[in-house]
Amino acid sequence: MEIDQWRREYLRGGLRRADLKEGPVEQFRQWLGEAVEADLTDPSSMCLSTADASGQPSQRIVLLKGFDERGFVFYTNLNSHKARDIAANAKVSLLFPWQSLERQVIVYGHAVPVEREEALAYFRTRPRDSQLAAWASQQSEPLPDRAQLQRQFESVRSRYGEDEIPLPDFWGGYRVIPDAVEFWQGGASRLHDRFIYRAADGGQWKVERLSP
């Protein structure tokens, strides 16, 4: 495997300042829409990076479940590894790797809990088995085998029967409030186009082109 020789050119097109929307949310909305139109697999998937109190970083793929001018929302077990990291260090980043479009979006910011009512409203939209799974899994805790997880799931299923499943008190969401958002478009000869929106006073955004 000559992995050092694996490479390809990025030839799908460039990104110019004149192409950019006024704010990063509008630009993200346009690119997400184009990712959906291109029939990408899981276009709302993103890599969430956190760091614990010691500075040790970690990453995992989560799904974006909402975004607007306030930020980018995802949901999780509030006792999970990611949630413990956020409790110790709220600074996070998100990466959307739309590789077949030769695009990346990186969000830099800090995570804050969403309101309980907002988490409940989303929880109610999840498939019933996903609601049960939220109760069954003690996310990030050691597990002896898959059979134990299945027993926990069946126990929860039996407990609630056909009743409405309540929102667990250990389950909720976070909103990542952006301080900066970078849009990356691959370019030929590694001359990629990179623009970053940085939060400025008065709710405005400053846009800069970055060297590739």
Q: What is the mean pLDDT of each run of 10 residues along the chain (212 residues)?
A: 88 92 98 98 98 97 98 98 98 97 98 98 98 96 96 96 96 98 96 97 95 96
Helix (H) or strand (E) holding 171: strand 171-185
Q: State how far the Cα of 125 lies from the Cα of 65, in Å rounded to an integer.
A: 11
Q: How high is the pLDDT of residue 177?
A: 98
Active site residue 8: no
Q: Using alpha carbons, select from 133, 120, 130, 122 the residue that is nearest to residue 169.
A: 120
Q: How high is the pLDDT of residue 194?
A: 98
Q: How high is the pLDDT of residue 7?
A: 86
- 80 labelled as ligand-binding? no
* Packing angle of the helix pair 146-160, 128-136 (nearest 10 deg): 120
- 122 labelled as ligand-binding? yes
Q: How high is the pLDDT of residue 14?
A: 92
Q: How high is the pLDDT of residue 170?
A: 97
Q: How high is the pLDDT of residue 1?
A: 79
- 62 labelled as ligand-binding? yes
Q: How high is the pLDDT of residue 114?
A: 98
- 63 labelled as ligand-binding? yes
Q: State how far the Cα of 176 lies from the Cα of 179, in Å rounded to an integer.
A: 9
Q: How high is the pLDDT of residue 12?
A: 87
Which distant-in-sequence residues (6+ apart) come within 8 Å of 16 by Cβ? 193
The angle subtended at Cα 7 by Cα 2 and Cα 8, nearest 5°, is 150
- 7 labelled as ligand-binding? no
Q: Are 193 and 184 in contact (CB under 8 A)?
A: yes
Selected catalytic residue, list 70, 190, 198, 209: 190
Burial (CB count <10 Å: 0-12, 13-18, 19+), residue 45: middle
Q: How high is the pLDDT of residue 120?
A: 98
- 91 labelled as ligand-binding? no
